[in-house]
Chain A
């Protein structure tokens, strides 16, 4: 089984070479048969990669220590779920997951792309095949997960205990679906540049892919943030760690791409922006892979450092980023300009949005790469952390957030800011009230906190205003409003939900950062502590035995105002003997949207223990907002417009179309 997986991987590499060359050549000489090769090869390549991945996963699940990567990163006593997720909890396996998802998307284009123009489809699959070939080669040459050990050791060296968590089951697959999903947009852009023309169906195709990738990336980042929050025991949800930035940059660029693609689809404008953003987004995804996988950064994600890998990925990076940008420089001028628009219009607002987002991406990029560049040039070591990003990223994002509600209310081509502002009066009033209430009635609220809350409320109400205006609230009869509301295109709901989610996330961040409280103290069993209206009693430390660890679990009772226990929080210090590692399992209790977060420190000699306690108001909104954003993306994806492609054989009579009601 293991060797079958290895063989399937090699075979998938061979097919990716064919996929890279034959359709491209076919498109060049106009040979339809050769162009048709791309589809079946992409599907077969995906099937083989899936087989290979299944073989590796079964080796992990069955603790086959004759496979070197299993021996390095697994242990037979781990629960089954962590033995399986351990498949991608290491460098080799995670790269295999990466290409699995890449070939999966390639296969999707092959299957659903039958209504694309033949040359475009062939070129897209060829570019996709090129990326695949490069990464298959990388895996086989430097990170082969199927290297065997003979004789096989009897026990493995265990998975890093920090990774023995459900988060590993969700975070990397979601993140990779996002990262790699952008490869489709990249392939479409490069294919368009190769052909020198952009088909009308181009934007129709790119937009849903962008939505899919963006949705998964949003989920992946949010999940990673929540995982770090509860697993690392520091109570922080974002550290501006270079690895986090590596996933955040494609998200920012991808968000710009998403908005750009709307204009492109509706108005055939912003072609250059869209192409460039598609290339940049995937380039940043690749850069993220390089930063994380090459070992230039130290972090939880750097599984093992090997200079050969770094050099290899750097070559891939240079090839794809350099190649695509060079092609862009050569061919972009050939693309015809699209519809014209006034600076003050929906298009103009989206251009402004792109400008802010790309600039914000650039500041994050500088903050992430500058320390590396400085060290390479002068040898000096600096770290760029939260203070830098607060000063640069913050001022860029605040005005952007402030203008978000205007965007959807402006008309295409030529908008009227005053009219939009009039419609937003209610939202503005609500935000003003929120600012005043926060400033006057909450103790210790700073000006920033009050403004932050106001901005969040502004975003929330702005999103709702958009829906209200579009259903004609106040202009037409209530019954009509209802029917209009239910008849709104799903992409309108998608926009509103995504902006609503943004507001929720902002509210969560402001709430946690501005109104959070914390306490560090030494507690003995029986003592109580009070934090922001919550009373906790420490019951004591109880030893327990897990499957592959032993732990001291500290139990705390949440005491209600009547003196009775309302619930329990427990936090534990776990010791994993195989790796001689201790981890802290934080204890969290969710109260409304807020959380009480507790983490154990060192034990004293007298049975006391250091306890760090946080009250995190509205913290769950940070990730809840991301879920709402994902729901918005999903909603947009279901819009009927995005399901239509090209010459369909069974079209309705032309006259019937206007009468057809929206789904």
Chain B
């Protein structure tokens, strides 16, 4: 509301700037000739000063004076033809009215087309000062980041932020947050295991030597750390040492308390490994492997229904959190594989919209879609 009031005041001010001179009286304007005369007079006095200071010889000065005098004479001969104020004709009145009206019309017309009057300013400090309950996760994270930027040696802060990064899939940020937490607050099994997980995820799920070192450090602190054991076994499996991996997981399963959340993961991993060795190199891996396995044993209708539910839930999730590059690519691929080209294109359009049409991500999406034989509809 305040904005519209300001806009109205500004428009009024601008219109007045046009209207007042048109409405006001005119001072008697001096003719161009008078202006010229003044300049020549000044040139003459300057000449006199120069002579007085000895800058030019009297003879030269005389010549220059004659020249200026000639200019003044020519001015007189040309006559005084100043702009004569004429009666305002119909045409000039029309132009004046159009000019006054043009200001509000052009500005409001253009602004309605270009502006976003309903969108308030959102300076970052204001957004971060909001009640945390109203803030999005992103805003909370940004608040924590601002706090840590000001107090980079707050180990607890890094400790809290690191798992959040991990959940938000900002793996490389998670890596540095865990590292900072370890540097400032010392080793702990949870931090080392988290660091390992972040490194592994940053590398696309591959348990590298660096990640392995972190997990081993975690186990040194707490030999019963489930995450570290699980990922170390995963690392073995990735190296093709399936037997050792299976043994490690089975050992974990035996040791885990019955209500441990890791049970499910370990069981699934065991099943994956088993089916993979059974299928001798079938390309099933990743978190969906088990679900895909299950789907293969279903009737075609059930399978289709299940896949569509999964895709729909992914779609829903992306509507909530549109800044998920991987998610969008998965969604586009899913629709394409399901033969729903229209929906795939729609997803592509939404993905591009989420990041802005000329963003790098948008280019990535377009390229990715092109590999699936889709073109963006814009």
A and B touch in the complex (CB under 8 A): yes
Which residues does A use to contact B, with CB under 8 Å? 1-4, 6-8, 10-11, 13-15, 17-18, 21-22, 25-27, 29-37, 39-41, 43-44, 48, 51, 59, 62-66, 68, 76-77, 115-120, 140, 144, 146, 148-150, 152-155, 197, 199-201, 204, 268, 304, 339, 411-413, 470, 472, 476, 484, 487-488, 545, 547, 641, 644-648, 654, 657-658, 660-662
B119 touching A150 by the CB < 8 A rule? yes
B95 touching A25 by the CB < 8 A rule? yes
A32 touching B29 by the CB < 8 A rule? yes
Count A-B pairs with CB separation below 8 Å.
237
Query: Knowing A14-B102, A63-B124 touch, does A150 contact B116 (C-beta < 8 A)?
Result: yes
Q: Which of B85, B122, B358 contacts A65 (CB 8 A)?
A: B122
Interface centre among A146, A152, A304 (most CB of B within 10 A): A152
Q: Kindly state whether residue B247 has any CB partner on chain A within 8 Å.
A: no
B88 touching A30 by the CB < 8 A rule? no
Which B residues, 21 to 69, have Cβ-Cβ distances below 8 Å to chain A?
Answer: 21-24, 26, 29-32, 34-42, 44-46, 48-49, 52-56, 60, 63-64, 67
A41 touching B119 by the CB < 8 A rule? no
Closest residue of chain B to A483 (Cβ to Cβ) is: B53
A120 touching B32 by the CB < 8 A rule? yes
Which B residues, 257 to 308, have Cβ-Cβ distances below 8 Å to chain A?
Answer: none
Query: Knowing A4-B3, A7-B107, A201-B36 touch, does A33 contact B14 (C-beta < 8 A)?
Result: no
Chain B residues with CB under 8 A of A64: 121-124
Q: Kindly state whether residue B240 has any CB partner on chain A within 8 Å.
A: no
Q: Kindly state whether residue B6 has any CB partner on chain A within 8 Å.
A: yes
Closest residue of chain B to A149 (Cβ to Cβ) is: B356
Report 18 cross-chain contacts, Cβ distance below 8 Å, ordered by A residue: A2-B121, A3-B116, A4-B3, A7-B10, A7-B111, A14-B104, A15-B17, A18-B99, A32-B83, A33-B21, A77-B149, A149-B356, A200-B36, A201-B39, A411-B56, A646-B34, A647-B34, A647-B35
Q: Kindly state whether residue B141 has any CB partner on chain A within 8 Å.
A: yes
Closest residue of chain B to A150 (Cβ to Cβ) is: B119
Query: Knowing A22-B99, A29-B92 touch, does A6 contact B122 (C-beta < 8 A)?
Result: no
Cα separation A148 to B24 with both chains bound (whole Å): 41
Which range contains the number of B residues in contact with the other chain?
35 or more
Closest residue of chain B to A35 (Cβ to Cβ) is: B83
B110–chain A nearest beta-carbon distance, Å = 5
Q: Kindly state whether residue B106 has any CB partner on chain A within 8 Å.
A: yes
Query: Knowing A6-B115, A647-B35 touch, does A76 contact B107 (C-beta < 8 A)?
Result: no
Which residues does B use to contact A, with CB under 8 Å? 3, 6-7, 10-11, 13-14, 17-18, 20-24, 26, 29-32, 34-42, 44-46, 48-49, 52-56, 60, 63-64, 67, 71, 83-86, 88-89, 91-92, 95-96, 99, 102-104, 106-107, 110-111, 114-117, 119, 121-127, 136, 138-139, 141-142, 146, 149, 152, 323, 356, 358
Cα separation A119 to B29 with both chains bound (whole Å): 10
Q: Is the interface of B mostly helix, strand, loop or mixed?
A: helix
Closest residue of chain A to B137 (Cβ to Cβ) is: A154
Chain B residues with CB under 8 A of A144: 114
Cα separation A36 to B27 with both chains bound (whole Å): 10
B51–chain A nearest beta-carbon distance, Å = 8
Chain B residues with CB under 8 A of A77: 149
B121 touching A17 by the CB < 8 A rule? no
Query: Knowing A2-B121, A339-B67 touch, does A29 contact B86 (C-beta < 8 A)?
Result: yes
B13 touching A662 by the CB < 8 A rule? no
Cα separation A658 to B20 with both chains bound (whole Å): 43
Interface centre among B14, B92, B117, B136 (most CB of A within 10 A): B14
Interface centre among B21, B36, B45, B146 (most CB of A within 10 A): B21
A279–chain B nearest beta-carbon distance, Å = 22
Interface centre among A1, A31, A658 (most CB of B within 10 A): A31
B10 touching A48 by the CB < 8 A rule? yes
B25–chain A nearest beta-carbon distance, Å = 9
Closest residue of chain B to A661 (Cβ to Cβ) is: B49
Cα separation A7 to B3 with both chains bound (whole Å): 10
Closest residue of chain A to B85 (Cβ to Cβ) is: A32
A3–chain B nearest beta-carbon distance, Å = 6
Chain B residues with CB under 8 A of A63: 123-125
B22 touching A33 by the CB < 8 A rule? yes
